[in-house]
Structure 1
Amino acid sequence: MQWGNGAVPARRALLATTIIIILAALLATGLESGASARPSTERPLRAHPLLHQRGFADPSVTRYGGGYVAVSTGRGAPRATATSPTGPWTMRRRAMLKLPRWSVNQEIWASDMVKVRHRWLLYYSAPVRGLGRGARCIGVATSHSALGTFRSVGRRPLVCPRGADAPRAWDQLRHRGRHMPRSGVIDPSGFRGAGGSRYLLYKTQGYPSSIRIVRLTSRGARVARHAHSRQLVRARGIIENPVLVRRHQHFVLFTSEGFYGGCHYRTTWRRSHRLLHWGHRRPHLLLRRSRMGVCGPGGADVVTRKHEQPLVFFHGWTCWGHLPCPPSFHINRSRGMHPKRSLYAAHLRWTRRGTPKVRGFLHPR
């Protein structure tokens, strides 16, 4: 085919335009690739479990003379120790061998271990009759050492709603609110305030759920005289596992949100200038599956360290050993996957604005 004289310039112009478009597309692709290669606070992170041979859900981790000690959800509060946060983590004798009479069995959920003066306290939630299926109350136990056997303090629960088949608790949730469910309480968490004052945070079971706080005595084993619990945060869905940290002039509240048995379970944080006034503080994401590849990161606990970055320990679902469960995982549809909640940890960094960020994850030794 022959081209006329007028068609040649037009063809050349079309060819030049095509080349320019292709070069522009390649340049844009290169710029985009370069942008994704630059360091970013949103780049994907990868975590590896520190303890996955057995489940270790809702970890409470603290430092003691021999390194680190942790307790988890399970019969008698399973316990593990390590000389370093990266492990190796070794299972020890469970923290509690006997629970008080008001407890239906020894299945403890999300306990919290703290040291108060020269003794150790274990706040725990145990099943109780009279409040409906699955309802629990909170008790406290004490030991002379972090690795010793914890024994319940007194016969009364520390926190327990009215109507439970148990002795009258120190905190009965008198001011719970008309529209809050009359079920149990779980997820106890100790907090040391200004001047050494002590508090206990916990979650109310049912929907809507709430996080409450009550003032304790200086020894931490009783509710302070004339003290009554009050609501800090309320949510239509599930909000649980409260951990409170003071950072300069702010209080930062870490919580877990969502259904615990799936990968969308996540860890969030809120911030307030005042301990007892949180209003409608909006939650911000700290740990989520889409960024770190861990299925359902929750049950977080923060460990502060002198002259070192704080650490955040949490659990995540693993299947077929140490592998993260797939994004579609659901505990009620997990036959053959052998799921369990394994122990993870990450470095926690505070920005100039005083907000928490995950800097990197700890890898097992």
Structure 2
Amino acid sequence: MLLSATVTVVLATLATLLATGLDAGASARPVSGVSSRVLPLMHHHGFADPSVVRYAGGYLAVSTGRGAPRATATSPTGPWTLHRRAMLRHPGWARSSEIWASDMVRVGHRWLLYYSALVRGLGAEGRCIGVAASRTALGTFHPVGHRPLVCPRSARTPRAFDSLAHRGRHLPHSGVIDPSAYRGTSGRRYLLYKTQGYPSTIRILPLTSGGARVRHHARSKQMLRSRHIVENPVLVRRHRHYVLFTSEGFYGACHYRTTWRRTTHLLSWGHRRPHTLLQRSLTGVCGPGGADVVTRRHERPLVFFHGWTCRDGRPCPRRFHIDRGQRAHRSLYAAHLTWTRRGTPRVRGYLHPR
């Protein structure tokens, strides 16, 4: 009788574990911080460095690519549908319509798109940052003004509002990428961006209330500097802390990851140690990076990010590297973002496509 009862308990326990595992997979909640079934929301088309916003029709995402590709969905789980590109014409100072890691934001009665585009005079991949505007989120964005918003003086373009003229010899004299808008609690607007080359630096630039110009006599200041690759800055205010999300590592490999730092002073990041939010060992996703945080009223915020997928939308293998010629693209993912009582961000449940 004792043996029979023991077997019954073991079988019941196994059944419970199996049921729990199936339920966890169905609802996209990771078990013990690791999920083996994180699915992309959109994988038939590449969608790298997503910038996601709420608009009247639901959710709108902008991707790296020619003319800044867009996709829309009525809910974050989709289905996501490709929309026409945001920019049909690149500015005169740019030499290509290939747009990297743009950021969309609503300012007053119009929408702004901060973007980086190739320019002459900064090498093969040197870029500068511009801003474009549209009356609606799904409208065509037109470049604002005839010069870049941020661009080193050595570029062959009209002089930018922020020309990075005061960089020392120890800093890279190359282009600027990864623009990211931030609105402070006082209503003041800023633009964060990354300088190309090593060491990696993240800078912050005060903007006017309209968001399309640099504040009078203002210049960008360095927020963060690292010997390693640090890019894609996204700044969030959480109570008395500033939290800076970034991507670290080489973008074309599975070890690319999303990290965060925090401080109580906007320009005091020098000794803040990065903490991992998203990486392959926690998500099963190859190279989870390019993250953007979307805050929703009365709901948990969301973090959208990309990851490398290979065959049939599955995460690329651990040893994947873009330079090895494998067929792959970066797909769109999302997860719920929560905050602990101590004010640290945590991922709690991944979104699955409908």
Q: Distance in 1 between matches of 2:31 and 2:241?
A: 23
Q: Secondary structure at the match of 2:186?
A: helix
Q: For 1:219-261, what per-residue CA distance to the aligned partner results, in whole angstroms no more than 9, with x for missing partners? A: 0000100111011111112110000000011000000000000
Residues 30, 350 of structure 2: 8 Å contact kept: no
Q: Which residue of 2 aligns with 1:200?
A: 191
Q: Hey, what's the Cα distance between the residues in 1 that align with 2:299 and 2:293?
A: 13
**Any conservation in 1 of the 2:86–2:140 contact (CA below 8 Å)?**
yes
Counterpart amino acid of residue 340 in structure 1: H
Using the alignment, how far apart are the partners of 1:198 and 1:43 within structure 2? 36
**Aligned mate of 1:344, from 333, 336, 348:** 333
- Residue 102 (structure 2) pairs with residue 111 (structure 1): yes
- 1:290-305 equivalences under 5 Å are 290-305=281-296
Q: Following the alignment from structure 1 to structure 2, what is the Cα–Cα distance between the partners of residues 164 and 87? A: 41
SS at match of 1:141: strand
Q: Distance in 2 between matches of 1:199 and 1:319?
A: 37
Sort the Cα spacing of 1:40 and 1:127 in 2 relative to 1 into closer, same or farther, 3 A: closer
CA RMSD of aligned residues (A): 1.5
Q: CA contact under 8 A between 1:175 and 1:230: conserved in structure 2?
A: no
1:180 aligns with 2:171: yes
Which of 328, 348, 351 is 1:362 aligned to?
351
1:19 alignment counterpart: none
Q: State the AA in 2 paired with 1:47.
A: V
d(CA) in 2 for partners of 1:176, 1:287: 32
Q: After superposition, give the CA deviation of every residue in 1:245-298 in whole Å (9 maximum; x if it has no partner).
A: 000110000000000000000000000101122121000000000111000000
Aligned position for 2:42: 51
Residue pair 2:30, 2:349 contacting (<8 A) in 1 also = no
- For structure 1, the 5+ residue unaligned runs are 1-33
Amino acid paired to 1:357? R
Structure 1 stretches of 4+ moved >4 Å: 39-42
- Do the aligned residues in 1 keep the contact of 2:73 with 2:80 (CA within 8 Å)? yes
Per the alignment, residue 321 of structure 1 pairs with: 312
Structure 1 match to 2:301: 310
For 1:276 and 1:89, locate their aligned partners in 2 and report how far apart those are by CA, in whole Å.
37
| CA drift at 1:359 | 0.3
Deviation at 1:40, TM superposition (A): 9.2
1:42–1:291: 8 Å Cα contact kept in structure 2?
A: no
Percent identity for Structure 1 against Structure 2: 72
Could you say which residue in structure 2 is the equivalent of 1:141? 132
Q: How does 1:1-365 map to 2 (within 5 A)?
A: 42-45=32-35, 46-335=37-326, 338-365=327-354
Give the distance between the partners of 1:40 and 1:332, measured in 2 at CA.
Answer: 31
Look up the SS of the partner of 1:344 in the other structure: strand
CA distance, structure 2, for counterparts of residue 256 and residue 361 of structure 1: 19
Pair 168,359 (structure 1): closer, same or farther in 2 beyond 3 Å:
same
Comparing 75-84 with 173-182, greater Cα deviation is found at 173-182
TM (norm. structure 1) is 0.88
Asked if the contact 2:194/2:202 (under 8 Å) is kept, the reply is yes
Alignment partner, residue 7 of structure 2: none
- DSSP-derived class of the 1:270 partner: strand
SS in 1 for 2:281: helix
Report which of the two structures shows the higher radius of gyration computed on alpha carbons: 1
Equivalent pairs counted in the alignment come to: 328
Segments of structure 2 that go 5 or more residues without pairing to the other structure are 1-16, 22-28
